[in-house]
Amino acid sequence: MRTPVPDYLAEVLDDVAGDRSGAVADYIPDLAAADPEVLGVAVTTVAGRTHVAGDADVEFSIQSISKPFAYAAALADRGVETVDATVGVEPSGEAFDELSLEAGTRRPKNPMINAGAIAVHHLLVGPDATGADRVERIVGLLSELAGRRLTIDESVYRSELDTADRNLAIAHMLRNYRVLDRPAAEVVDGYTRQCAVLVTVRDLALMGATLANAGVHPVTGRRMLPAAVARRTLSVMAGCGMYDGAGDWLVRVGIPAKSGVAGGLLGALPGQVGLAVVSPRLDAHGNSVRGVQVCERLSRDTGMHLMDAEPYGSTVLRGSTVDGDATVVTLQGVVQFSGAEAVLDHLAVEPIGTTEVVLDLTRVDRLSDVGRRMLLEGLRRLADDGHTVAVVDPDGVLPDPELGDGTRPRVRT
Ligand code: GLN
């Protein structure tokens, strides 16, 4: 059998292909030469499988889609306090290239508009980094995420730098308010190179899948970013990624996303997929017209929307049986707060007539940190009540099950 997923993606592209509205960006002369007909989509699951349709191997400049990754790198390099002191996380409700700062703090409002992204670029690596160090940091990270060495489109870079008056104005404004401590021209040069990195939708979907997978690369299994950094980056994408179209986007699509003026669009749905679309004609917000349509369609058809929740908790407690003098409580799936709560509630409410209580974790795929702490506390309380406690854990999902008082449950494999 051939998996139907790519056929589905091709069908989605077919449906939007006829829409020729919008216009390619022309404020960067080189972008005006882009083929407006290019249309491609890629989806990468957090298990590392990629499905594509259309122009999945056509390269285009990443542009603003580099911003969430630069933000993530700056968080990893400089820590959240330094980054927070430099740039906010509030949706701006303004165009991407607005010359504006937050009243009071004089920080750029968020890292997804140019003012914030220029400030973030200058934070990369460390205070003593050179312009080249910062560029290598971001190109290196993007390359590792894409699983191949990415290059800078020199012609796009030069074309944008030649006409970068607005970004230079933003950088001078930032320097005036001491947000930047490097020369405006040096930072804009590096930021412009960052934007000129060539990618395909295949690359972007893979990059997005790392964000969706809490910072772990879905193919290599390597941790690329701390989980807290991936979460913060996705949060900012959800609020600010689509510029002044962000609220509408969150309601209609509900996938943290970032668009770029070359027509790329990246989405990442936590725990599920990274996805990317390319189609160079843009709407009034500077977002790809057909890219937005493809994402709307995917979200609607597949239920991929941040606010579409599955009832995790109720499925964790598989059953409870009495086996001789033991009550065996069987758990399954992924145990987070609500699943552990259901198990603890069962143990608290159902009368236990046996000496021993066994938690059978054989079918548990993963215990979150809170799930682990809650189950251990439950076992400790059962032991306090006079029960002997045991776990069946052949895969070691509950390593080192110390009950907080030096004792441990009996472990059966
Ligand atoms: N390099 C572009 C700029 O700074 C990025 C803007 C974008 O993709 N929205 O103007």
Residue-wise pLDDT tens digits, 262-290 = 999 999 999 999 999 999 999 998 999 99
Contact 270, 309 (CB under 8 A): no
Q: How far apart are alpha carbons 266 and 63 in whole angstroms? A: 11
**What mean pLDDT do residues 221-226 have?**
98
pLDDT, residue 389, reads: 97
User: Choosing from 41, 46, 67, 71, which is the catalytic residue?
Assistant: 67
Gap from CA of 236 to ligand 1 centroid (Å): 17
261 counts as catalytic: yes
pLDDT, residue 288, reads: 96
Q: Indicate the length of the chain as a whole number.
A: 413
Three-class SS of residue 48?
Answer: coil
Q: pTM of the entire structure?
A: 0.93
Residue-wise pLDDT tens digits, 139-149 = 999 999 999 99
pLDDT, residue 313, reads: 75
Residue 241: band (very low, low, confident or very high) from pLDDT cuts 50, 70, 90: confident
Q: Scanning the structure block, which residue is given the tokens 């009540």?
A: 385
Reply yes or no on whether the pLDDT at 70 is more than 90.
Answer: yes
Q: Which of 62, 114, 194 is the pocket-test mutation for ligand 1 (most atoms within 8 Å of CB)?
A: 114
Residue 309: band (very low, low, confident or very high) from pLDDT cuts 50, 70, 90: confident
Q: Is 299 exposed, middle or buried (0-12, 13-18, 19+ CB in 10 A)?
A: buried
- Who wins on pLDDT, 228 or 243? 228
Residue-wise pLDDT tens digits, 310-368 = 877 789 999 999 999 999 999 999 999 999 999 999 999 988 999 999 999 999 999 99
Mean pLDDT computed over every residue of the chain: 95
Residue 297: band (very low, low, confident or very high) from pLDDT cuts 50, 70, 90: very high
In single-letter form, the type of residue at position 75 comes to: L
Q: How far apart are alpha carbons 282 and 172 in whole angstroms? A: 28
pLDDT, residue 333, reads: 95
pLDDT, residue 62, reads: 98
pLDDT, residue 47, reads: 96
Q: What residues contact 123, with CB distance under 8 A and at least 6 apart? A: 74, 77, 78, 82, 83, 86
Q: Which of 62, 66, 97, 121 is the pocket-test mutation for ligand 1 (most atoms within 8 Å of CB)?
A: 97
Three-class SS of residue 224?
Answer: coil
Residue-wise pLDDT tens digits, 171-190 = 999 999 999 999 999 999 99
Reply yes or no on whether the pLDDT at 107 is more than 80.
Answer: yes
Gap from CA of 118 to ligand 1 centroid (Å): 10
pLDDT, residue 138, reads: 98
- Ligand 1 site residues (CB inside 6 A) read 63-64, 96-97, 114, 160, 167, 195, 260-261, 286
The DSSP line for 69-110 is HHHHHHHHHH-HHHHHHH-------S-TT-----TTT---S-
The answer to whether 312 is annotated as binding is no
User: Choosing from 61, 64, 92, 299, which is the catalytic residue?
Assistant: 64
Reply yes or no on whether the pLDDT at 17 is more than 90.
Answer: yes
pLDDT, residue 243, reads: 73
The DSSP line for 177-205 is TTS--S-HHHHHHHHHHHHTBEE-HHHHH
Reply yes or no on whether the pLDDT at 385 is more than 90.
Answer: yes
67 counts as catalytic: yes
